[in-house]
Structure 1
Amino acid sequence: MRHRIFELTQLDAKTLQERSLKLCEEAGELAQAVLCATGAPGSAYKNLNVDDVREEAADAAIVALSVLAQTCDNEAMFQEQIDKLFAQKCDKWQSVLKRSG
């Protein structure tokens, strides 16, 4: 899937700024789906459920990876950055959980 995201990013003419703004849009759609799916007041009219949350989360994740792909010179660098950055961020998350638990 990483290969496909990198390839599609190369084919898409969006600038880094446009792609980052698209990520903000997707995050908003995810938030809207979560609010509706969890029964937040004023959101029931949207009629969204956990399937919509999953779909919007996938959209946001793909666009976020596309932002990362656009900052890389080639696919190998993209793969390396995903592995490196995800490991660093998961380690940080784990450290925070250990401190709070």
Structure 2
Amino acid sequence: MTDPWEILNSLANKLNSLSTAPREQALLGQALKLSEETGEVAEAVIGALGMNPRKGHSHDWDDVRAEACDAAVTALILIARTGADPRDLFESHLQYLHNRSLTREATA
């Protein structure tokens, strides 16, 4: 399997099949996993900038990028686990953001 969207859906299906929790709790767990991953992005940025005096430069920008990928995949798996098609939803939302950026100034 080489298609990224097939891999993503396969991972979501695997997590669903292994979960013994009720559906809503499984989705809550996936959302909390996303929060954990974003924390790891923040930790990597702090380490890349050397902002923790105790740890110094504990990470580099490759670490930041890898953690950002983990967060993105976890978010897309959450979408898949809710029953939506992550590719369709992502592409549609990306187009929405693009169209919005053309009609007003970006704020972020």
Q: What is the TM-score when the length of structure 2 is the normalising length?
A: 0.74
1:96 and 2:105 correspond? yes
Of 9, 13, 22, which residue of structure 2 is paired with 1:10? 13
Q: How many residues align?
A: 95
When the two chains are superposed, the root-mean-square deviation of aligned CA atoms in Å is 2.1
CA contact (8 A) 1:36 1:43 kept: no
Instruction: Give the aligned partner of residue 81 of structure 1.
Output: 89
Structure 1 residues 43 and 32: alpha-carbon distance in aligned structure 2, compared to 1, 3 A threshold: farther
Structure 1 residues 80 and 31: alpha-carbon distance in aligned structure 2, compared to 1, 3 A threshold: same
- Structure 2 gap segments, 5+ residues each: 20-25
- Structure 1 gap segments, 5+ residues each: none
1:54 and 2:65 correspond? yes
Alignment of 1:35-74 (within 5 A): 35-42=46-53, 44-45=55-56, 47-73=58-84
CA contact (8 A) 2:50 2:57 kept: no
CA contact (8 A) 1:5 1:66 kept: yes
